[in-house]
A and B are shown apart, each in its own frame.
Chain A
């Protein structure tokens, strides 16, 4: 990506921000790229590649949006917002808003779990706890509902020691059919979402804690990201792309359909059952086992890991790649052996039952491992 392309994409990612804040951010990154390329003697493209994903940059810029003022009384009633408690005080807060007036919900907190579930058909109900460590700014403007935790002043830094003492949470109840997009972000705490159909995208982000998404539909993309903790996806129907990732912990996906699927973890196993996609499916780990059962796509199916086994059951794709090291690759592939052209390699003396494959079918199967064997069969082939 070149300099102006980067700024254009960033500008798009910042859509909805106050124009001045957006311009400030754009000129900061504009400058940063020139200065970095100059200092490191590299090209601007390289300097940009180094910056990381645009979404992450945009997210960190959005943290700076000014603590939005509560909507004025007149406006609030117009939009049907009511508050359960006095806004200034500490305690459990409840905010209710007409769902029809909201097309985007953003919740940003830290060290507090977020739960999303279906509630009333025409209202959004948001419950949260405000105390000395978590002070929130709530706003509802132009259809965008935001609950943003104010950053801690350095003075409050000791607050993080007490995170385990508290049992607060944020609960968001929305209509089961919800005509809005939703972005949930926290840290060190779990995110759970269930039984809602979003007419747009859904993003969930936390760290060091689990994500569990069950029985959800999304007409846009669905992203789920955590670390050092499990990620569980069950019964998801996504019209856009599904991207989910964790690290150092198990990722499991069952009954999932999406236009594209990409699941990633590391140092832990990944299991996928009943996945379907019209686009490519990627299952990736490092140092962790990969298990796939009933995976179907008319495009590429890529499974990569290392130092661990790959096992497959009834997978189907015109271009299958199964690559690991120090672990066996075993199981079966839907279809006949004659449909596939095979490239396989089990180095360092591993047995490879595909080495005798002589067909040159239109579908491609590439299998690689080391110090372990390859044992794959085709289900519709009686000879095995």
Chain B
């Protein structure tokens, strides 16, 4: 898959996972891997970017004697996911068009 496209898709996956509840790095990469092929290290830049864009926030909680960083989706993140779905409708249209033409 094209790298840019894939990054966008992974972002959407992460946002979707966070809508179900706050989660942490490892759990997010494990859960995202259910729907899209990705390595654990791919998720780090994605989370960083979402955080920089204000779409997720993070906070540290103690877990088993150490700190674990949890991520939380913001309203901005929810909006971004809606944008993604709208955008995707457009991509699907192009996809259908391209597929039709190549038969």
Q: Which residues of A does B touch, CB under 8 Å? A: 24-25, 27-29, 31-32, 34-36, 38-39, 50-52, 56-57, 60-61, 63-64, 66, 110-111, 151-152, 154-161, 187-188, 207
Q: Which residues of B does A touch, CB under 8 Å? A: 2-5, 7-8, 11-12, 24-27, 29-30, 39-42, 44-45, 47-49, 52, 64, 66-69, 80, 83-84, 87, 90-91, 94
Q: Are the C-beta atoms of B24 and A31 separated by less than 8 Å?
A: yes
Q: Which residues on the A side are within 8 Å of B25 (C-beta)?
A: 28, 31-32, 35
Give chain A's interface secondary structure class. Answer: helix
Select which of B7, B44, B80, B83 is within 8 A of A28 by beta carbon: B44
Q: Which residues on the B side are within 8 Å of A61 (C-beta)?
A: 41, 44-45
* Complex Cα spacing A142 to B24, Å: 35
Q: Which residues on the B side are within 8 Å of A52 (C-beta)?
A: 39, 41
Name 11 extra pairs, CB < 8 A, besides A39-B26, A157-B8.
A28-B69, A31-B24, A31-B25, A35-B24, A35-B68, A39-B30, A61-B45, A110-B3, A110-B4, A158-B87, A159-B4
Select which of B45, B83, B94 is within 8 A of A64 by beta carbon: B45
Q: Are the C-beta atoms of B91 and A157 separated by less than 8 Å?
A: yes
Give chain B's interface secondary structure class. Answer: helix
* Complex Cα spacing A64 to B50, Å: 11
Q: Are the C-beta atoms of B41 and A155 separated by less than 8 Å?
A: no
Q: How far is the CB of A184 from chain B (nearest CB, A)?
A: 16
Select which of B24, B69, B83, B94 is within 8 A of A154 by beta carbon: B83
Q: Which residues on the B side are within 8 Å of A35 (C-beta)?
A: 24-27, 68
Q: Are the C-beta atoms of B2 and A160 separated by less than 8 Å?
A: yes
* Complex Cα spacing A187 to B11, Å: 20
Q: Are the C-beta atoms of B11 and A154 separated by less than 8 Å?
A: yes
Q: Which residues on the A side are within 8 Å of B30 (C-beta)?
A: 39
* Complex Cα spacing A245 to B67, Å: 40
Question: Please, could you name 9 A-B residue pairs with CB atoms under 8 Å apart, sorted by A?
Answer: A32-B40, A34-B66, A39-B26, A39-B27, A51-B40, A61-B44, A152-B7, A157-B5, A187-B2
* Complex Cα spacing A368 to B3, Å: 40
Q: Which of A110, A151, A207 has the most CB of B within 10 A?
A: A151
* Complex Cα spacing A287 to B12, Å: 38
* Complex Cα spacing A207 to B2, Å: 10
Q: How far is the CB of A97 from chain B (nearest CB, A)?
A: 27
Q: How far is the CB of B101 from chain A (nearest CB, A)?
A: 13
Known contacts A35-B26, A157-B87; A25 and B44 CB within 8 A of each other: yes
Select which of B3, B40, B90 is within 8 A of A187 by beta carbon: B3
Q: How far is the CB of B42 from chain A (nearest CB, A)?
A: 6
* Complex Cα spacing A110 to B40, Å: 22
* Complex Cα spacing A16 to B84, Å: 35
